[in-house]
Amino acid sequence: MSRSLVLTAAEKASGLILSITTMAIVSRILTPAQIGVFLVASGIIVLIEAFRDFGVATYLIQARQMTPPLFRTAVTIMGLMSAGLAAAIWALSAPLARFYGSDELAQVIHVALLAFLAAPIGNPLLALLRRRMAFGRVALIGMAAAATNAVVSVGLALAGQGMFSLAWGSVSAAAVAALGAVLASGPLPSFRPSLAEWRVMMPFGAWSSIITLLGMLVESLPRLILGRMLGFEMAGMFARSVALSQLPERLFLGAVQPVVLPALADRWRRGQPVAGPYLLGTAWIIALQWPMLVIIALLAEPLVHLLLGEQWQPVIALLPVVALSSLFLFPQYLAFPVLVAAGRVRLMALASAVTLPLTGLVLVSAAQFGIEQVAFSLFITAPIQAVVMLAVTHRCIAFEWRQLGQVVLHGALLAGMTAAPAAAVLHWTAGTQPVGVGPAALACIAGLAGWLVGVTATGHPIRARLARLVPRQWQRWRQASSLR
């Protein structure tokens, strides 16, 4: 599984680099309000996609047996859902534009809906590739789609297409992903419409759609609420602070779930325990995410200046708050793979149904007082989500709370040992001018050194992996040097 993680991480890393580059360029061309309009539109589309996919990809990955009728049923259901939901949201785009007070919102939604044409072809084929654990091919497809999104978005933004550049970028990426899935799949299975296995797939799809919708609502709720209550500019500011705080998630944790879900499903089918792998995965997640989040909080000012530009100054105050509140979200990354592998997806729906109204109530209340209060409200909503996710996961796999506590304690020590030297460097180089690239780079190096010391001192499981990786890379470097 480690090789699969490396391949998937390479895809996520390349996609992250392209995304950061795109963000840095586009944020200097478009206004926060323009980006806010696109993000509200994409938030609406994401909610519709939860029903459009209907849990097809997840079901194909975890199904005990893959048969041609099952695949054809999956494709047919996704095609019908895509057509029906695209028509519905197209009809609702005008009322939504009036609700938010922006005619351009409807036009952006119309463009973004074109991506629905590619989903019934690309998504089931990508699910089959993941089921076969062909993560190398999936990674190449993801890289091609990310590159297409970046080139199209930046090119159209430079051409003066405004917020529509981002919408066309996402549509182009979906088309490339579908084409890549077709080319990478070899002999294609039959796409002839069929509903032969609908009785098997519908119950799972319904619950999976509800789960995904509720999860996406929790994620999209801030931008949808802020777009209506505080305007598109504030929605854009808040969304950019969230995007920067999600850099560790996209770099490391985005590689975890696509690999962990098939692996956990395979262990569950074989009757093997999953509590141990769950705790190990959680330890890796915390060890990688938490130190990066505290570094992001410390370096908010240079990050915003480097990646966003001068027109995004309010994000400097928001980013540390959003990043530190994200420390509480670690349980959510493995909860879905565990519950799907165990066939207990209804527990995920229950968890989301509990957290969603509480999150919405807190965010709406905080929005009455301004954008900063919305950011601080995450220190209320994030722990609520964490407690609920841990409760439903424990009900499913019965891990030891004491062992989880040790994992969290080690992660906190790593985060502290990363933050301390980085903060010391920033204090030592502090002056009247904003933190520059040089001091920020020194702080990152100091933080990395502190993290390595922490990994060694705490005996973290990641230490063994590093101990094997570093000599191997050193040996390769020496061999390459001798050949020269």
Summarised one tens digit per residue, pLDDT across range 284-327 is: 889 989 999 999 999 999 999 999 988 999 999 999 999 999 99
Q: What does the alpha-carbon distance between residue 35 and residue 315 come to, in Å, rounded to a whole number?
A: 14
Sign of the four-CA dihedral 134, 136, 137, 142: positive
pLDDT at 477 over 50: no
Task: Supply the pLDDT for residue 447.
Answer: 95
Average pLDDT over residues 149-161: 95
384 touches 359 (CB < 8 A)? yes
Query: Does 274 reside within a domain?
Result: no
Number of domains in the chain: 1
pLDDT at 474 over 50: no
Q: What does the alpha-carbon distance between residue 256 and residue 258 come to, in Å, rounded to a whole number?
A: 6
Residue with the bigger pLDDT between 474 and 96: it is 96
246, HSE (Cβ side, Cα atoms, 13 Å): 14
Structure tokens at 426: 């920033």
Query: Does 115 reside within a domain?
Result: yes
255 touches 9 (CB < 8 A)? yes
pLDDT at 481 over 70: no
pLDDT at 4 over 60: no
Task: Supply the pLDDT for residue 7.
Answer: 65
Task: Supply the pLDDT for residue 421.
Answer: 95
DSSP at 114: G
182 touches 121 (CB < 8 A)? yes
Query: Does 451 reside within a domain?
Result: no
Q: Which of 398, 325, 392 is nearest to 353 (CA)?
A: 392
Q: What does the alpha-carbon distance between residue 5 and residue 277 come to, in Å, rounded to a whole number?
A: 14
Band of residue 268 on the pLDDT scale cut at 50, 70, 90: low
Work out the angle at residue 323's Cα, subtended by the Cα atoms of residues 321 and 329, and round it to the nearest 5 degrees.
115
> pTM for this structure?
0.79
DSSP at 429: T
Average pLDDT over residues 111-136: 87
- What's CA 205's distance to the chain center, in Å? 21
Gyration radius from the chain CA atoms: 23
Summarised one tens digit per residue, pLDDT across range 233-258 is: 999 999 999 999 998 887 776 655 55
pLDDT at 90 over 60: yes
Task: Supply the pLDDT for residue 469.
Answer: 61
- What's CA 309's distance to the chain center, in Å? 24
Summarised one tens digit per residue, pLDDT across range 176-216 is: 999 999 999 888 888 888 888 877 777 777 777 777 777 77
Band of residue 5 on the pLDDT scale cut at 50, 70, 90: low
Q: Which residues of 105-142 are buried (b: 16+ CB within 10 A; e: fewer)?
A: bbbbbbbbbbbbbbbbbbbbbbbbbbbebbbbbbbbbb
Give every CB contact of residue 161 below 8 A, 6+ residues apart in sequence: 168
For 279-338, the DSSP string reads HHHHHHHHHHHHHHHHHHHHTHHHHHHHHT-GGGTHHHHHHHHHHHHGGGGTTHHHHHHH
Band of residue 40 on the pLDDT scale cut at 50, 70, 90: very high
For 394-426, the DSSP string reads HHHH---HHHHHHHHHHHHHHHHHHHHHHHHHH
Query: Does 235 reside within a domain?
Result: no
Percent of the chain with pLDDT over 90: 46
Band of residue 134 on the pLDDT scale cut at 50, 70, 90: confident
Query: Does 26 reside within a domain?
Result: yes
- What's CA 35's distance to the chain center, in Å? 19
For 63-107, the DSSP string reads -SS--HHHHHHHHHHHHHHHHHHHHHHHHHHHHHHHHHT-HHHHH
Task: Supply the pLDDT for residue 461.
Answer: 79
Tokens 């490339």 belong to which residue? 176
Range scoring the smallest mean pLDDT among 40-44, 54-58, 196-200, 451-455: 54-58
- What's CA 480's distance to the chain center, in Å? 36
Summarised one tens digit per residue, pLDDT across range 334-372 is: 887 777 777 777 787 788 888 888 999 999 999 999 999
Average pLDDT over residues 419-430: 90
Task: Supply the pLDDT for residue 437.
Answer: 79
Task: Supply the pLDDT for residue 219.
Answer: 80
Containing structural domain, residue 73: 1-196
Query: Does 137 reside within a domain?
Result: yes
Query: Does 36 reside within a domain?
Result: yes
Query: Does 318 reside within a domain?
Result: no
Q: What does the alpha-carbon distance between residue 291 and residue 423 come to, in Å, rounded to a whole number?
A: 12
Q: What does the alpha-carbon distance between residue 177 and residue 140 come to, in Å, rounded to a whole number?
A: 10
Q: What does the alpha-carbon distance between residue 276 and residue 292 come to, in Å, rounded to a whole number?
A: 25
